Structure 1
């Protein structure tokens, strides 16, 4: 979805929950240079391939308003939930997917209750969090193409599977990729262990029915997630871009 269409969707549909689902649909623009991939959208293990281009996805409806203001590795901001460390590696498709140093990586996701910071007080999200900025952050990749964020395991909201939004820029600020990260599902998975926090998983939308991830037949958008409720979870994901 192009930005002008995203903005229009907010203006027209801010009074109804279905707009969230519509605005989170796929951008409809995916790369085709895929060399490998494994995993499926509804199993407890999945991984993106070593030189695979993840599909372009929408960044709405709750993108960070001023991402450059949140250069930080700990994005928790006091939100309660099970600890999660997210390690995202960026590779360069134009260099055999070698590590891309100096790339700028923004991430954002909802809290345990399925709410986003910087938004709210409307039909799209009743709880008003417009004045706070939790679970949003920016980091620059190191020599290994890696950024690390400390956060909490995301909750879920109607119509979507558990996910993290990612926007990657070049060092000069040129947009390189907008995508979303899915989580493994099934018995023993982190999604099953967390069990939707207090909401449970009744009404949860799994990856294979999610309007963003349902066509990910090889699992290239599914991260590797390990850990326990007591110790917290570790997420790793490789995202390759054209730089």
Structure 2
């Protein structure tokens, strides 16, 4: 009997040790995967990072509201120069549209509408209300439509947008397929901080007192600002160039 109990204790001890070793191994693997402390784990992490990076370049840009001032008849404003007499610092706006349903290859033949406010924060086609006191219902400045080329690119000549209460500086974008079916409505925001075009323009005559920055903006305050944030270069003398690539399902 004593010999039987002795053998039984040896078996239990062996099983317990095995479980303990397995548990330590799992913990070690978890730490290694997180810390990338081995060659194998580093390769996996790098692969994952590369995959994530590749995915982010093809992430579909967020859908946003058209806002209260969309173009009423966008097909009437097929033009690359949308300035239409408004004064302000020149802005060349370049939008590249990719098809997320086709390995993010350029989407040619898409219709791209844009619109934004003028230097004072007013929109054309609207006004005379509590939302916008100045009446611009009979004019159509800073609105236009272009068709993407083989590279998925459209280019507009405009002015650097101003700002109005509770919103960061932005441009509205509505993309349709060639048949006119809506594919995406979104908005584009501008970089902020030292050396940015936003601070160089300094809100035109309004300055930046009371300005709503991206982090507090009702549209851009979530993580979407990363995809909707354009690149803006240039200066107040030569003008600015805005560039952004958007991936959409088409």
Give the TM-score, by structure 1 length. Answer: 0.80
Higher fraction of strand: 1
Conserved? CA contact 1:35–1:51, under 8 Å? no
Counterpart position of 2:143: 136
Matches within 5 A, 1:61-140: 61-140=68-147
Structure 1: 4+ residue segments shifted above 2 A: 34-37
1:197 aligns with 2:211: no
Tell me how far apart the structure 1 counterparts of residues 127 and 103 of structure 2 sit (CA, whole Å).
Answer: 42
Counterpart position of 2:177: 170
- Unaligned segments of structure 2, at least 5 residues: 1-50
Residues 88-123 of structure 1, C-alpha deviations (whole Å, 9 max, x = no match): 000000111100000000000000000000000000
User: How many corresponding residue pairs?
Assistant: 200
Residues 143-201 of structure 1, C-alpha deviations (whole Å, 9 max, x = no match): 00000000000000000000000000000111000000000000110000000000000
Tell me how far apart the structure 2 counterparts of residues 35 and 162 of structure 1 sit (CA, whole Å).
Answer: 30
Structure with more relative contact order (C-alpha pairs < 8 Å, separation 6 or more): 1
Tell me how far apart the structure 2 counterparts of residues 91 and 169 of structure 1 sit (CA, whole Å).
Answer: 13
Matches within 5 A, 1:1-243: 36=53, 49-216=56-223, 219-243=226-250
Give the TM-score, by structure 2 length. Answer: 0.78
Tell me how far apart the structure 1 counterparts of residues 81 and 158 of structure 2 sit (CA, whole Å).
Answer: 6
Shift of 1:217: 6.0
Tell me how far apart the structure 2 counterparts of residues 188 and 119 of structure 1 sit (CA, whole Å).
Answer: 33
Shift of 1:52: 1.7
Partner-residue secondary structure (3-state), 1:138: strand
Shift of 1:60: 1.7
Shift of 1:54: 1.1
Higher fraction of helix: 2
